[in-house]
Amino acid sequence: MTGYLTPLALAFSAALCIDIGLVLLKVRGDVVANRTIGSCLPSLVAGYFRDPLWLLGLFFQPFGYGLYLWALEMAPLNIVQTTMSSGVVIFVVFAVCFMGERLTRLEWGAMGAVGVGMILLSISLPPDAHGSQSLLDPRVVFWLSLILVGLSAVAWFAMVTPRQPNRRGMALGVVSGLLLGLASIYARGLALHLAQSPPGQLLRYAVTTPYAPLTLCANMAGFFLLLGAFRGERASIVVALSATLSNVVPILAAMLALGEQLPADPRLATSRLLAFSLTLGGAALLIRLNPSVLDR
């Protein structure tokens, strides 16, 4: 496990930065929007950029993502993504300690599931493990892209119908999660490509790979769809959908299509699968049941 301590710490820090940023963008974005009701779009945008906490939330996004890419250079995608999903526990602790929230038994159980999941994940790591540095097969990434974009279109048209127009926010959350999951696959390719760069040539390597613009475009599309979903649905529901899919998609893709195999030892493999299930399920349940941070 010692070979993975640094990327695990980086992934958890990345999740913390990104989640804090989303909370600030949501909470302060609502304040600015309510303050400028009836104003034109330029006034609304100017209001966002005059709000220091909203700007801080915006800054946390690329900073956290930089930590995420760093972690992906050193550890497999399925391990990094599972660790990222555990960051939601921090917000529940924040709500309990600073906002006077009380957790239900189900919420305590969800927190316990995340904790047990992370313990099982650490148990499943070989003692001297190091992340695979083999580059991704472009053909596999291409087909994964087509499948996920196709699923996004199907989800949208299936959920948003003339009879149920109120499901637009949920549909945006689902599509956002699929696209952010695709962005994580691209990010793994980008991180592995950057890991091959000679000293002093990181920037040149970053601009000469298609993974850089693909990662940027998929993240921006998923991010703006998520912000749009905030306006039409409760944040706890939207983020639960988006966060769950954005973590499940790359984990499954990594194991089924990108060559990231489970440990050869059946006991370690079982531990890894249980870790995935408990961490992702517990995190999704916490977001869904505890909307105090995002919905206020």
Tens of pLDDT, residue by residue over 189-226, are 888 888 887 777 767 777 788 898 999 999 889 988 88
Q: Are 226 and 172 in contact (CB under 8 A)?
A: yes
Quote the pLDDT of residue 32: 76
- Amino acid sitting at position 252: L
| Distance (Å, whole) CA 264 – CA 170 | 39
Q: Are 155 and 171 in contact (CB under 8 A)?
A: yes
Q: What is the DSSP letter of 165?
A: G
Model pTM greater than 0.85?
no
With 60 as the cut, is the pLDDT of residue 1 above it? no
Q: Are 239 and 173 in contact (CB under 8 A)?
A: yes
| Distance (Å, whole) CA 91 – CA 243 | 14
Q: Dump strand ranges (E) for the chain.
A: none
Q: What is the CA radius of gyration of the chain?
A: 19
Q: For the residues 224-229, what does the mean pLDDT come to?
A: 80
Would you place residue 295 in the very low, low, confident or very high pLDDT band (cuts 50, 70, 90)? very low
Q: Are 74 and 130 in contact (CB under 8 A)?
A: yes
Q: Are 87 and 19 in contact (CB under 8 A)?
A: yes
User: ∠ at Cα 166 (18, 153), nearest 5°?
Assistant: 65
Six-digit token string for 116? 């047990």
Q: Are 124 and 272 in contact (CB under 8 A)?
A: yes
What residue segments make up the domains of the chain, in order of their start? 1-132+264-296, 133-259
Quote the pLDDT of residue 257: 80
- Non-local (6+) Cβ contacts of 2 within 8 A are 127, 128
